[in-house]
């Protein structure tokens, strides 16, 4: 049966993606030199990037003769008033040689003393800084891109952009690569020089000719102003400035592909301490342990657009702690992936159902983690990039046995390609999870995103699982999941969206994530957004109304029904405000616990609440965000108060304090719950190469304080030294008998990685 399922899955997978080779779309890819960015306003010309005229000494100022004769890009203001000239003079030059893409930014400022530079940390997203950088659609696929940015302090921030910068957070900041930047300040403003290796970009070339999409922008934070090239309106919200489909096409001539090779061994050692019950479970015993590991990662460029990663005993030690969460639902919590091995072009593996990132066909945290415990991984391989007209992703990893969990093999194969037009895609995915004890889970998925016209997109997705011990019938709805969505992707003017989705009782994505099982879901949404005139103090307004409905497939009963409306606006000075009243209907099939002090009994509930949020402008050293939610909650009442503050004391020191307070009262059951989560983050940056961070969290629902102290020395990309100290403390020791130990666990780790670069 297993072999039959594998064969059928692979055949369906290959037939689905292969049959479209005859559609006629091959002409689009047949001659890369004829590609052009077709916008609604007509056909735009391509820009020829100049070859650099000599050596560049990376110092920020771009005064070398090599930059002479290169024509600057033309910038316009994107925000707060679209289409006018920037308030400050901005000159940006692009050039290249055989190995690098260069960018010089001359960011003049009439008040240089007011230039903001409040962070030095690698990948810091501190908004209280001036920012400058470039977004590069290196494959010119109009959907994915790589972003490289800096601040006056010279920090490096890079990220991968996916889904055409559409969604709540369509970037992956955990992605890192090799590149250099230097900055300088004087009485005229601040200046930057970028040097980005072509081996870090990956691209598709034909006879030495490459076409890439380029977006360059600068922020003048104290004025809440963004200047951008090319002319991209803010119609899609904050992420408009990252949209690959709106990038300017640029041509680079006489570039040959390289095959970079990186070899990165690591070593990790430390001490661990935990407290566990003795065999009689009468007293806690201290357990001390030594930890020591070595491993190896190899990255090899199979071609200019295809990369192979091989790992042996990969380093999946989490040096960065997850944010704790309070779960007030009957569904599991979702945590984002932060491990570096899964980051490069991870968007290829994105197969998300509905509009929530928490419903995925592939969720990489299923590999190497089980019930909160780390599962050792023997090794694995990963191939990512482009093969002809296809985006290709492949992962295969083998884990070690732990407890009752057998050694398992995890496999993922993903193919996608453009279809019909540059913003439409067709794809498929196959996942497998095979245990040495004979258990198995296979899933195939088919998906398509079609740009029908203008900003209107149709999304269709289907998946089916085959699991050991279950009745596996091909195309059975009971083991399948589907999703259909029509959406207008714009915050300007009248917008709308409608979706229909569902999941069968036996659908099981073995290495995926989903919140609900055996349901049918319907949702609708309408909104209207507008940008007031130049004289107005307001930047934009959006008014919306949406509903969603979940139906239990077994009984045909409504599980959840929600109606919500929202008014959101932002000012040209940077304030953001939104107000959202909501109505809920919940049909709870079984009791579920909120904490040891309160639970929700099974039954049917109607409740209403009101959400309010206020965020201060970014252009101040001190920023604050306030959230309030108040109203009824099942058969009781709830109030939520959220406070998030950040203070950039100096360019060397940042302090962030946040608090989430939930208070629930259920008078008829004489139950009450108060839940606090307090987070304190302190970051000290001696330079762009050395940082020290303290992250302390208090969670009242589990009566715990967790502390994560991290010291990082990063002299250059690929060389990292971490010293990490983690401790978990019990704040209510006498809630159980015998009393809990004061220290639940403690770990001290020293980790060193060195990358040998054979480019």
pLDDT tens for 391-414 read 899 999 999 998 888 999 999 999
Answer for the pair 564, 582: CB distance below 8 angstroms, yes or no: yes
CA–CA separation, 409 vs 460, rounded Å?
29
Where is the domain boundary, 486, 517, 548?
Answer: 517
Answer for the pair 377, 369: CB distance below 8 angstroms, yes or no: no
Q: Are residues 105 and 187 in the same domain?
A: yes
CA–CA separation, 453 vs 451, rounded Å?
6
- Listed residue (721, 532, 651, 509) closest to 154, CA to CA: 651
pLDDT in tens, 470-515: 888 887 889 999 999 999 999 899 999 999 999 999 999 999 988 8
13 backbone dihedrals φ, ψ, rounded to 5° = -60, -50
Q: Are residues 234 and 338 in the same domain?
A: no
- Listed residue (717, 526, 714, 593) closest to 329, CA to CA: 593
State both tokens at 583.
């109505």
Q: Are residues 534 and 412 in the same domain?
A: no
Ranges 75-89, 110-124, 730-744, most confident: 75-89
The predicted pLDDT at position 277 comes to: 67
Task: Measure Cα distances from 106 to 60, 188, 227, 438, 555 in Å.
Answer: 9, 9, 13, 62, 65
The predicted pLDDT at position 758 comes to: 82
366 backbone dihedrals φ, ψ, rounded to 5° = -75, -20
Answer for the pair 334, 512: CB distance below 8 angstroms, yes or no: no
Asked if the structure places residue 88 within a domain, the reply is: yes
Q: Is 139 left (phi over 0), alpha (psi -120 to 50) or beta?
A: alpha
Identify any residues that bridge with 712 across adjacent strands, giving them in sequence order.
Answer: 691, 722
Q: Are residues 492 and 385 in the same domain?
A: yes
Asked if the structure places residue 698 within a domain, the reply is: no
Does residue 111 surpass a pLDDT of 80? yes
- Measure CA 3 to chain center: 36
Q: Are residues 9 and 104 in the same domain?
A: no
N residues, the chain = 759
- CA angle in degrees (0–180, nearest 5) for 621-624-625: 150
Answer for the pair 445, 468: CB distance below 8 angstroms, yes or no: no
The predicted pLDDT at position 170 comes to: 87
The predicted pLDDT at position 282 comes to: 65
Q: Are residues 93 and 154 in the same domain?
A: yes
Does residue 9 surpass a pLDDT of 80? no
Where is the domain boundary, 490, 517, 544?
Answer: 517
pTM for the structure as a whole:
0.80
Q: Is 454 left (phi over 0), alpha (psi -120 to 50) or beta?
A: left
Q: Are residues 584 and 498 in the same domain?
A: no
The enclosing domain of 190 has a CATH number of 2.60.40.1190
Q: Are residues 121 and 233 in the same domain?
A: yes
Asked if the structure places residue 681 within a domain, the reply is: no
Domain count, the chain: 3
753 backbone dihedrals φ, ψ, rounded to 5° = -125, 135
The predicted pLDDT at position 4 comes to: 40
- Listed residue (306, 311, 298, 314) closest to 261, CA to CA: 298
3-state secondary structure (DSSP) of residue 466: strand
Which residues span the domain enclosing 131? 39-252
Task: Indicate the DSSP class of residue 236.
Answer: T
Q: Are residues 11 and 158 in the same domain?
A: no
pLDDT in tens, 545-584: 999 999 999 888 999 999 999 999 999 999 999 999 999 9
Q: Are residues 564 and 478 in the same domain?
A: no
Where is the domain boundary, 664, 692, 717?
Answer: 664
The predicted pLDDT at position 316 comes to: 59
Q: Are residues 89 and 208 in the same domain?
A: yes
Asked if the structure places residue 738 within a domain, the reply is: no
Burial of residue 140, with CB atoms counted within 10 A of its CB: 0-12 exposed, 13-18 middle, 19 or more buried: buried
pLDDT in tens, 321-373: 566 666 666 666 666 676 777 776 777 888 988 766 578 898 888 888 887 77
> SS3 helix, strand, coil % of the chain, rounded to 5?
10, 55, 35
Does residue 298 surpass a pLDDT of 70? yes
The predicted pLDDT at position 331 comes to: 62
The predicted pLDDT at position 350 comes to: 86
Asked if the structure places residue 715 within a domain, the reply is: no
pLDDT above 70 covers a percentage of the chain that reads: 89
CA–CA separation, 565 vs 574, rounded Å?
23
CA–CA separation, 345 vs 349, rounded Å?
8
Asked if the structure places residue 364 within a domain, the reply is: yes
Asked if the structure places residue 756 within a domain, the reply is: no
The predicted pLDDT at position 13 comes to: 41
State both tokens at 187.
């009485």
Which residues have CB under 8 Å from 96's CB, separation 6+?
49, 50, 51, 52, 102, 198, 252, 255
The predicted pLDDT at position 166 comes to: 85
State both tokens at 321.
């702690």
Please tell me which residue, 341 or 690, carries the higher pLDDT value: 690
Q: Rg (Cα) of the chain, in Å, rounded?
A: 27
76 backbone dihedrals φ, ψ, rounded to 5° = -125, 165
Q: Are residues 592 and 485 in the same domain?
A: no
Which DSSP helix (H) or strand (E) runs through 2?
Answer: helix 2-18
pLDDT above 90 covers a percentage of the chain that reads: 51
The predicted pLDDT at position 630 comes to: 96
Asked if the structure places residue 289 within a domain, the reply is: no
The predicted pLDDT at position 325 comes to: 65
pLDDT in tens, 420-466: 777 889 999 999 999 999 999 999 999 999 999 889 999 999 999 99
């Amino acid at each position: 049966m297993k072999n039959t399922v594998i064969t059928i899955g692979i055949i369906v997978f290959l037939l689905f993606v292969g049959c479209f080779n005859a559609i006629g779309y091959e002409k689009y890819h047949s001659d890369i030199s004829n590609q052009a960015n077709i916008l609604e306003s007509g056909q735009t010309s391509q820009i020829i990037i100049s070859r650099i005229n000599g050596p560049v000494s990376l110092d920020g100022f771009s005064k070398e003769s090599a930059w002479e004769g290169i024509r600057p890009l033309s910038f316009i203001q994107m925000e707060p008033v679209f289409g006018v000239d920037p308030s400050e003079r901005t000159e940006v030059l692009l050039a290249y040689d055989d190995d690098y893409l260069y960018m010089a930014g001359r960011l003049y400022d009439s008040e240089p003393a007011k230039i903001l530079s409040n962070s030095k940390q690698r990948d810091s997203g501190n908004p209280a800084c001036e920012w400058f950088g470039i977004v590069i659609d290196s494959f010119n696929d109009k959907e994915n891109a790589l972003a490289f940015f800096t601040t006056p302090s010279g920090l490096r921030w890079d990220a991968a952009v996916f889904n055409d910068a559409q969604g709540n957070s369509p970037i992956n900041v955990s992605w890192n690569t090799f590149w250099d930047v230097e900055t300088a300040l004087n009485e005229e403003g601040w200046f930057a020089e970028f040097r980005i290796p072509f081996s870090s970009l990956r691209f598709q070339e034909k006879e030495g000719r490459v076409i890439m999409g380029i977006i360059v922008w600068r922020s003048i934070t104290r004025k809440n102003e963004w200047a951008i090239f090319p002319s991209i309106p803010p119609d899609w919200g904050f992420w408009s400035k990252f949209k690959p489909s709106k990038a300017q096409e640029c041509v680079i001539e006489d570039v040959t592909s390289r095959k970079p090779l990186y070899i990165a061994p690591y070593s990790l050692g430390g001490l661990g301490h935990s407290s566990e019950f003795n065999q009689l479970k009468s007293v806690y015993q201290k357990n001390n342990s030594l930890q020591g590991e070595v491993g190896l990662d190899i990255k090899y460029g199979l071609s200019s657009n295809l990369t192979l990663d091989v790992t042996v005993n990969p380093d999946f030690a989490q040096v960065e702690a997850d944010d704790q969460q309070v779960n007030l639902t009957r569904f599991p919590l979702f945590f984002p992936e932060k491990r570096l091995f899964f980051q490069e072009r991870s968007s290829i593996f994105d197969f998300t159902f509905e509009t929530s990132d928490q419903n995925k066909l592939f969720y990489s945290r299923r590999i190497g983690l089980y019930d909160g415990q780390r599962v050792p991984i023997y090794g694995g391989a990963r191939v990512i990039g482009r093969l002809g007209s296809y985006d290709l992703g492949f992962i295969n990893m083998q884990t070690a046995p732990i407890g009752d969990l057998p050694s398992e093999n995890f496999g993922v194969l993903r193919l996608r390609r453009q279809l019909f037009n540059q913003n439409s895609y067709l794809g498929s995915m196959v996942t497998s999870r095979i245990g040495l004890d004979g258990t198995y889970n296979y899933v195939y998925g088919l998906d398509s995103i079609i740009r029908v016209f203008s900003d209107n997109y149709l999304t269709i997705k289907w998946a089916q699982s085959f699991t050991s011990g279950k009745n596996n019938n091909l195309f059975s709805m009971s083991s399948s999941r589907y999703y259909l969505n029509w959406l207008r992707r714009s915050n300007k003017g009248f917008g709308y969206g409608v979706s229909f989705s569902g999941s069968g009782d036996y659908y099981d994505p073995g290495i995926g994530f989903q919140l609900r099982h055996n349901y049918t879901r319907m949702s609708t949404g309408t909104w209207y957004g507008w940008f007031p005139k130049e004289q107005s103090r307001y930047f934009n307004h959006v008014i919306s109304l949406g509903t969603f409905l979940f139906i239990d497939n077994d009984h045909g009963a409504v599980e959840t029904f929600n109606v919500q409306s929202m008014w959101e606006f932002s000012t040209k000075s940077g304030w953001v405000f939104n107000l959202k009243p909501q109505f809920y209907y919940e049909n709870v099939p079984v009791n579920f616990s909120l904490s040891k002090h309160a639970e929700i009994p099974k039954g049917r509930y109607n409740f209403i609440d009101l959400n309010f949020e206020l965020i201060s402008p970014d252009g101040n050293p001190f920023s604050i965000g306030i959230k309030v939610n108040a109203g009824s909650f099942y058969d009781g009442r709830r109030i939520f108060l959220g406070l998030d503050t950040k203070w950039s004391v100096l360019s060397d020191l940042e302090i962030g304090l946040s608090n989430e307070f939930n208070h629930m009262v259920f008078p008829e059951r004489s139950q009450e719950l108060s839940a606090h989560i307090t987070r304190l983050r302190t970051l000290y940056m001696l330079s762009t190469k050395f940082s020290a961070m303290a992250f302390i969290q208090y969670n009242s629902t589990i009566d715990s304080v967790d502390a994560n102290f991290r010291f990082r020395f990063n002299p250059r990309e690929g060389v990292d030294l971490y010293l990490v100290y983690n401790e978990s403390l019990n704040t209510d020791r006498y809630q159980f008998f015998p009393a809990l130990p004061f220290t639940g666990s403690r770990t001290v780790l020293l980790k060193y990685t060195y990358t040998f670069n054979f480019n």
